[in-house]
Amino acid sequence: RDLGPGSYVVEVDNYGTTVFVSNSDIDGLVLNMLPDVSLVGRVSIEEFELSMIKVLDRIRVRLIPADRSTRLAQNSPQSESMNSDGTFEIHNVGPGQYQVIVCMALGSNPSSCARSTPDFYLKEPRFHHTDVLNAPLQVTGAPATPLDIVLSWKPGRIQGVVINEQQESVAGVRIVLIPDQNRDRVGLYQFAETDRAGRFSIRGI
């Protein structure tokens, strides 16, 4: 009741659809809910054998809703511990469009996932033989093909120092690296904080 004109997100169980209200009532709105599915995939490392990667068990694949209006924590399904052959499975994936990111599980909380990956970066994810690095991954039902992910163990690094107007180093400053293009790709954002000498280092670029 009493809705002003505009765009709204109607959510059911953390999944939503966009509704536009103009100058008339909306009657008979039907929300078709599809069951969650499981998505399987495999990770490979460019020019490396998986057996050489000591942090393989900490690597996680996470799906972030592509629609910012429905980007909720509960709506970001994540893989569990990676198998030794690089295969993984993501449970409870609802219908929708997702960005694919690769992150590192935190030792204190395996269900959490830090986007900082200092030794590698996501080079190529393919789903249904389609590149889903710069386009969303579309889930409409039980996937028939796996999500294939290629990581590169040759990332870039930026080091620097933050100084003030008096040319003095500044500690405790947060540094954010944001891509000039594809700013909607949250997996490309990198963060760092200056130490006591004002120095910072950003790895895994």
Q: Rounded to the nearest 5 degrees, what angle is found at the Cα of 61, between the Cα atoms of 89 and 35?
A: 50
Distance of CA 136 to the CA centre of its chain: 11
110 — pLDDT class (breaks 50, 70, 90): low
Q: Judge contact between 121 and 152, C-beta under 8 A.
A: yes
Give the residue with greater pLDDT, 99 vs 141: 99
- Give the model's pLDDT for residue 158: 95
* Residue 1 clears pLDDT 60, i.e. is over it: yes
Q: Judge contact between 132 and 176, C-beta under 8 A.
A: no
- Give the model's pLDDT for residue 68: 58
**For the residues 143-170, what does the mean pLDDT come to?**
93
Give the residue with greater pLDDT, 59 vs 74: 59
- Give the model's pLDDT for residue 115: 74
Average pLDDT, whole number, for the chain?
86
The enclosing H or E element of 139 equals strand 137-139
Tally of CA atoms within 13 A in the half-sphere of 183 that contains its CB: 4
- Give the model's pLDDT for residue 73: 46
Read off the pTM: 0.76
**For the residues 172-198, what does the mean pLDDT come to?**
91
Give the residue with greater pLDDT, 88 vs 119: 88
**For the residues 179-188, what does the mean pLDDT come to?**
85
The DSSP secondary-structure symbol of 178 reads -
Give the residue with greater pLDDT, 110 vs 34: 34
**For the residues 162-184, what does the mean pLDDT come to?**
93
